[in-house]
Amino acid sequence: MDLHEGLKDYFSKKALIICIAAAGITLLYFFNPEKTIWLPKCPFHLLTGYQCPSCGTQRAIFHLLHFDFYKALSFNFFMVISIPYAIALILVTWFNSKGKLNKIKQFCYSNITIYIYVALMILWWIVRNVAGV
């Protein structure tokens, strides 16, 4: 495989991911997960009755897309406040070809940041099931 084909393959994968994400966002913009029975439900919640850390994400994204931030926070607080971190990860992974975002990349991928994020996610998982948040 030459460089041209390698780049073509790399960009076609990016384009596919972007198209799938755009389709998902469009779907969630037009269809409210609270009123749509055909959107997937959380298998963990269906099996255990407990909420996983990402339960409510579809509903939260729907309300974010409609600028109802309070309602989005009520469905999945942790996911909503994680959006800046997710955006930073996407930026430093896909758009850092010249190395201008290396300091942000070091922060995002540092062990401490990842451990703190995972610890907060586990804490959120426990709190939302114990306190009923």
Q: Say if CB 106 and CB 96 are below 8 A apart.
A: no
Domain extent for 107: 42-56+69-130
Residue 98 lies in a domain: yes
Question: Does residue 14 lie in a domain region?
Answer: no
User: What is the residue-wise DSSP string for 11-39?
Assistant: HHHHHHHHHHHHHHHHHHHHS-TTT-SSS
Per-residue model confidence as pLDDT tens digits over 6-39:
556 666 777 888 889 899 999 999 999 999 899 8
Domain count within the chain: 1
Torsion of CA 74, 76, 80, 86, to 10 degrees: 180
Q: Say what the alpha-carbon torsion angle 50, 56, 57, 59 is, to the nearest 10 degrees.
A: 160
Given a cut of 90, whether residue 64 has pLDDT beyond it is yes
Q: Is residue 12 part of a domain?
A: no
Q: Tell me: pLDDT of 3 over 60.
A: no
pTM of the model: 0.80
55, pLDDT greater than 70:
yes
pLDDT tens string 68-102 = 999 999 999 999 999 999 999 988 988 887 888 89
Phi then psi dihedrals of residue 77, to 5 deg: -55, -45
Residue 103 lies in a domain: yes
